[in-house]
Amino acid sequence: MLEISNKSNLLEDETYKYSLQDVKNPKLYRDVFNFEEVPKIAFNHRRVPMGMPREIWITDTSFRDGMQSVEPYTVEQIVKLYSLLSKLGGPYGIIRQTEFFVYSEQDREAIKKCQDLGLEFPEITTWIRANKNDFKLVKDLGISETGILVSCSDYHIFKKLNMTRKQAMDMYLASVAEAFEAGVMPRCHLEDITRADFYGFVVPFVNELMAMSRDAGIPVRIRACDTMGYGVPYTEAAMPRSVAGIIYGLQTYSDVPSELLEWHGHNDFYLAVANASTAWLYGASAVNCSLLGIGERTGNVPLEAMVMQYASLRGSMDGMRPEVITEIADYFKHEIGYNVPAMTPFVGANFNTTKAGIHADGMLKDEEIYSIFDTKKILNRPSVVTVGKTSGTASIACWINEHYNLSGDKAYDKKDDLVIRIRKKIDKEYENGRETALTTKELEKIFNEMTNGQK
């Protein structure tokens, strides 16, 4: 039967619906996922239309997936990070939600103290075991939405649960019915979707979820979980690894609206940010992230990365305050004791640090030559030049000007006598066997000795 599509406004065949394929043996895609080789990326040259939603946003899993891979945060640390998330996300809630565990007394205390802050965003949600007691616990905490695990690949259904697809689907649907009974909105985490039989299980299952949602009058959020980081952003990649195909398929064949569609990715193959951006571009309103990308194995999608992706795609921060990213990183380093790798974009020590002499020469002429943007304005982190063994006079001049905030006629040039004398003094240290870069205190001492403290 031909009907006008609400999405494309074109006549489309709406009659065919995918049904569950309750196979006897698991479909493990061994041609792609041969455990003894690097997984292969297959292409079928089928493209789906790009269609970014009118609204896109970020959700956070720092206190759930993120906290599973580090020492558990204290209640005070959770409350502080939650307040910083709210500050970063701005008044329009671009960082829309964050999820918590509810199992321990400490979990519940953290939730209560975050609720007491009275912040509108991010909305507090939870992640629970799918049983009546946990649904009641969520409801009693005054929380309206919770995540539940609905593993969807045959790796999980057959190998972990020891069930058939039909048995797994029935169990999952019963859990959703319990959520409805408790008056809680379920967020279904489709674990391992990038190894799942998309048309034989995922689509028929989500069709049932959407039908239940319509009957109950309660929304169901669908979180597509790239649990192993197998998703790829290439537009003509074959299923089940195609991020664009998954998002398009959930919208087109299961009628999941963009505002109820969320992507959750891992970084096992360095594609977490690219995949999350692709999910936005092809119709998911939400991408799920964690602060600094902290999460299981190689981590989740770094939340700070998606703040920048949002601004790049939308042309605006829309009220977000990116300078808070630096506050968050400092809090992790100094209060939590987390070691942020130096090369990490936006938050690492070397993110906007210039070490090469030829780069410093460019920075001396115009910061824009070697800085990705005005890091002082956007992140409250001025560009830094490190003076070391391979640094030239340009690096020294840059360091002086930046450290002492000198510009115009007061700024030093690489040919100035003072700069040349400092360079000679530093060169002698390396001639005597030094290998490490000079510290700020060492450079200050040399500068003061040669200028009598005068700038």
DSSP string for residues in 242-291: BHHHHHHHHHHHH---GGGEEEEEB-TTS-HHHHHHHHHHTT-SEEEEBG
Residues 429, 283 share a domain: no
Residues 165, 220 share a domain: yes
pLDDT score for 366:
66
Q: Residue 131's domain is classified under what CATH number?
A: 3.20.20.70
**pLDDT tens per residue across span 144-203:** 999 999 999 999 999 999 999 999 999 999 999 999 999 999 999 999 999 999 999 999
Q: Does 20 map to a domain? A: no
Q: Does 344 map to a domain? A: no
pLDDT higher than threshold 90 for residue 431: no
Q: Does 437 map to a domain? A: yes
pTM of structure = 0.90
Question: Closest by alpha carbon to 398, among 335, 341, 339, 355?
Answer: 355
Q: What is the total count of domains within the chain?
A: 2
Q: Does 347 map to a domain? A: no
Residues 293, 399 share a domain: no
Residues 196, 107 share a domain: yes
Count of alpha carbons within 13 Å of 163, Cβ hemisphere only?
A: 16
Residues 289, 230 share a domain: yes
How confident is residue 131, by pLDDT bands cut at 50, 70 and 90? Answer: confident
pLDDT score for 363:
62
Question: Is residue 306 within 8 Å of 287, Cβ to Cβ?
Answer: yes
pLDDT higher than threshold 70 for residue 357: no
What does the pLDDT average to over 20-47?
96
Residues 371, 262 share a domain: no
Residues 330, 358 share a domain: no
pLDDT score for 4:
85
Contacts of residue 315, defined as CB under 8 A and 6 or more positions apart, other chains included, come to none
Residues 261, 376 share a domain: no
Asked which of 273, 303, 336 is the last residue of a domain, the reply is 336
Q: Which residue has the higher pLDDT, 394 or 192?
A: 192
Q: Which residue has the higher pLDDT, 366 or 28?
A: 28
Angle between helices 440-451 and 393-403 (to 10 degrees): 90
pLDDT score for 440:
81
Q: Does 206 map to a domain? A: yes
Q: Does 23 map to a domain? A: no
Question: Is residue 170 within 8 Å of 142, Cβ to Cβ?
Answer: no
How distant, in Å, are the alpha carbons of 5, 202, 256 from that of 251?
A: 12, 12, 5
Asked which of 289, 306, 336 is the last residue of a domain, the reply is 336
pLDDT score for 102:
92
Q: Does 176 map to a domain? A: yes
Asked which of 279, 308, 336 is the last residue of a domain, the reply is 336
Residues 409, 291 share a domain: no
Residues 191, 280 share a domain: yes
pLDDT score for 391:
75
Between CA 356 and CA 365, with CA 359 as vertex, the angle to 5 degrees is 145
Residues 393, 256 share a domain: no
Q: Does 345 map to a domain? A: no
Residues 257, 155 share a domain: yes
Domain assignment of residue 120, given as a range = 29-336
Give bridge partners of residue 99 from the DSSP assignment: 125
